[in-house]
Structure 1
Amino acid sequence: MNMPKLTRKHILRAIRKIDANGVPPRRGWRYYYPSFEGRSYPAKYVISLATRFASGHELLPNDFHTNEAQECLKKLGFEIKKVKKTA
């Protein structure tokens, strides 16, 4: 993945933007998601927004893999949870 160095501050800024504007169609999550203050967020969209705040360039979904986004978030202290299946 060719992403700039992200900080927790970049991630929190991305989360605030998602809280204010929501998640665009097709930018949701399937199985795993980062959790912050009891809310769930799509990992790749969080990273995409955070890279825009860090470098001025937003990564597109095909620019990197979900597991790379999750690892980045884990390293910055965010918990990654698994979506529970419903019967």
Structure 2
Amino acid sequence: MIPDNISREDVLRALEKLARSGAPRRRQSTRYLLAHGDRGYPPRYVLAVANTFANGWELHPTALGGGGEANAYLKKLGFTIVTMERGLQIKYH
């Protein structure tokens, strides 16, 4: 379950951190990306890192449920989620 106090600002701070350091290979997304600027980020990992700014610890992958929950939360905060298709095509939602 995603803590409901993670804010847009927390997500933006997480995106800044990931722009510098990237995401671990095991935390890469296989289906969805959060589109920000000219880059895509794994939505569940973005929320895990954003929780460090909101609550002081990184969320464990199992705490986030499926990608649908993370995607819906990020959309609610005003972010764009894209679907990765075969051949690196991206569909915007």
TM-score, normalised on structure 2?
0.86
Residue matched to 1:80: 81
- Does residue 49 (structure 1) correspond to residue 49 (structure 2)? The answer is yes
The structure with more strand, counted as a fraction of residues: 2
Greater helix share, structure number: 2
More relative contact order in 1 or in 2 (CA 8 Å, sep 6+)? Answer: 1
Gaps of 5+ in 2: 89-93
Displacement of 1:38 = 2.0
Q: Tell me how far apart the structure 1 counterparts of residues 22 and 36 of structure 2 sit (CA, whole Å).
A: 15
Answer whether contact 1:13 1:50 (CA < 8 A) is retained.
yes
Q: RMSD of aligned C-alpha atoms?
A: 1.4
Corresponding residue pairs, total: 87
User: After the TM superposition, which segments of 4 or more aligned residues of structure 1 sit over 4 Å from their partners?
Assistant: none
